[in-house]
Structure 1
């Protein structure tokens, strides 16, 4: 998927996603509902759907690059400098992802400590966040692909326009989805549960989706932007700052005061800190691009 995203072939990425998710759903139905394999069936369905996606992806690559060409290029794969850069980038992304997962795990664990009703309410609200992220990730993937292309072209103006356009679209989508959840929570969350007391509890917290999704939409877009530029260190450092400074301090207060509202504030601050720290780095990428192009301009 990264290969196709880097080549701006979004249609193939969509096909692979459809194959993976569609086959996962179908296999889940047969393995779990029809054959009663329970959790083992869920694991088998996920694994098989991933291998099916891999097979289709390899066929698409082979269709684009005939085997003789792949064989010729195979010797260039073990390029020491390229592998070193790749592993460094992946290490930074791993640390960044660990920081994100730790933040959401902390949110869930503290929610469980506040009681089953708070845990249930917050879990349903996080389902809304997860659903929204699927939409926002589409823009983030597009931003990632275009940012890499514009960096390769050395086009500073295109990068500036990309950030403005992607930021506007992401913010509009994030706030739009949040407003839907806020205006009709009974209908939306009624699709996920039939417990009226849980839906009533959601009414007290659903407004927190506005800052979480509003700020989160920009944060996810900026993630895609810096991934496209292969700026793994920036992603790593900003994620760690957001977790350690933006979230944990308020999460401790939420724990002390036994307040779910403070817990949502901690998540909002986490998103806001990511936007602030990543946003401050954006102009530096433009300056860096200008400097890297100066020798060529001088020629």
Structure 2
């Protein structure tokens, strides 16, 4: 038997399943919720730091630059999403060596891709500004922001891999510590660079880049604690034959390819949304960016339950346990629906004062208040798509994710073009409908996924429904 081929783990006993109750789901989700809440908080602080200067062009430039950087960086989001599903399945099937190997593969890929992105930052920026609309003043500010952000590319993509690995193991508290540390560093550095050193939009981007390198250093320490060995020892103890196993690499690249296509399609969708505001004018672009912070708050926090679904569903799928699989979907979706209702009400009741806090420009304030109801509706219409994303990411059903994402983006663009005579009303109507399109596309694949999850006797169900 070849060491590291994976055969030596085939007879290992499967891990004892953790309780699958509402209490257990919430205990797993709340650290993610806090960590995710701090992500849009950084966006809020970035917006406020620039918005309080009263420079509309700078605010619009950060908005445009953030969209472009999101498109570039999150194109490699498979390093987080694919890792979560594959790690959860490897853990659920009782394959600890593959769990280690997955991390090492993803870290190597992430760092290498980050270096390539940094090296190509200038042509990437030139191409982006050739495609996206914006005045010279807005483009100049966006260029400065992006220049700062690109310095953090290798660290950012490596942190994606670490986060995906931690979430796949259900180590949400460690993921929380990493996220909080990065975001606190980001906030402090942004405030210092913009208000202290007067670096403007470039300071916002540079502060985020520094924070990403800090997060990578901390993430490697956390990995060592979870794995019981630092990254060098982990590399030494993982057989090279396993690390470079052709079958597993093919699976990794196949899953990641489809998730990457899906992610790029959705990033094009949101880039189109940002550019739609830029086409109308700087005020609309800035107002939509302010409202996007509300959407991000809801999306990131509700993602806590989607991420929990990824790990729980992925582990049940790896163990081929249909009962736990369907129960994981139901419990996580219950929490997500309740949270969506709460956010929708909160945005309608408190949205106005928050808008005033984020920007001092009277026109931006008025426009953002006008379209606030759309932002309040997103937590409700977006929840099904986010939860279905979690289910299909956890089961690494890349083909379904790819097809649904591409179809939703194409239909959204057609809808946005048709609604252009209605200006920003059409922009928000189309983006709201896009969430329903994504959910509908994935729902078509759900019956087939449920049929594929076979009941087995490998895991004893020790956590019957607690009501």
TM-score (norm 2): 0.58
* Residue in structure 1 matched with residue 438 of structure 2 by the alignment: 274
Which residue of 1 is the match for residue 384 of structure 2?
218
**Does the alignment pair 1:9 with 2:171?**
yes
Aligned partners of 2:190, 2:375: CA distance in 1, in Å? 31
CA shift digits 1:220-248 (9 cap, x unpaired): 12112211111111111100111112x12
Report how many residues are paired. Answer: 293
**Structure 1 residues 120, 29: closer, same or farther in 2, change over 3 A?**
closer
Structure 1 residue aligned with 2:158: none
Q: 1:49 to 1:200 in 2, by over 3 A?
A: closer
Which residue pairs with 1:205 in the alignment? 371
- Give the equivalent residue in structure 1 for 2:229: 66
Alignment of 1:33-112 (within 5 A): 33-63=195-225, 64-66=227-229, 68=233, 70-75=235-240, 76-112=242-278
Distance across 1 between alignment mates of 2:343 and 2:176: 22
In structure 2, list runs of 5 or more residues that go unmatched. 1-162, 460-467
Give per-residue Cα distances to partners, 1:245-295, cap 9 Å, x unaligned: 2x122101122x1432222221122100111111222222121112xx679
Moved more, 115-124 or 177-186: 115-124
Answer whether contact 1:147 1:229 (CA < 8 A) is retained. yes
Whole-angstrom CA distance in 1 between matches of 2:434 and 2:324: 29
Describe the shift of the 1:122–1:61 C-alpha distance in structure 2 as closer, same or farther (beyond 3 A): closer
The verdict on how the C-alpha distance between 1:80 and 1:237 changes in structure 2, with shifts beyond 3 A counting, is same
**Alignment of 1:253 onto 2:418:** yes
> Any idea what the Cα deviations from partners look like across 1:198-228, whole Å, max 9, x if unmatched?
4333343222234422121221121122111
Instruction: Give me the whole-angstrom Cα distance separating, in 2, the residues matched to 1:176 and 1:164.
Output: 19
Higher RCO structure (Cα 8 Å, ≥6 apart): 2
Match of 2:426 in 1: 262
Separation in 1, partners of 2:441, 2:370: 30
CA distance in 1 between counterparts of 2:312 and 2:199 reads 43
2:285 counterpart of 1:119? yes
Matched with 2:151 is: none
**What is the CA deviation profile of residues 55-112 of structure 1, one whole-angstrom value per residue up to 9, with x for unaligned ones?**
2222222233235565221422111111111112222121111111111111121222
Which of these residues, 453, 463, 467, is aligned with residue 289 of structure 1? 453
Q: Does 1:30 align with 2:192?
A: yes
Counterpart Cα distance in 2 of 1:92 and 1:199: 40
Task: Measure the CA separation in 1 of the matches of 2:281 and 2:216.
Answer: 42
- Alignment correspondent of 1:179: 345
| More displaced 10-residue stretch of structure 1: 218-227 or 196-205 | 196-205
**How much is the aligned-residue C-alpha RMSD, in angstroms?**
2.4
1:238 and 2:401 equivalent?
A: no
Work out which of the residue numbers 350, 356, 370 in structure 2 matches 1:190: 356
1:93–1:235: 8 Å Cα contact kept in structure 2?
yes
**SS across alignment from 2:396:** coil
Q: 1:35 to 1:209 in 2, by over 3 A?
A: closer
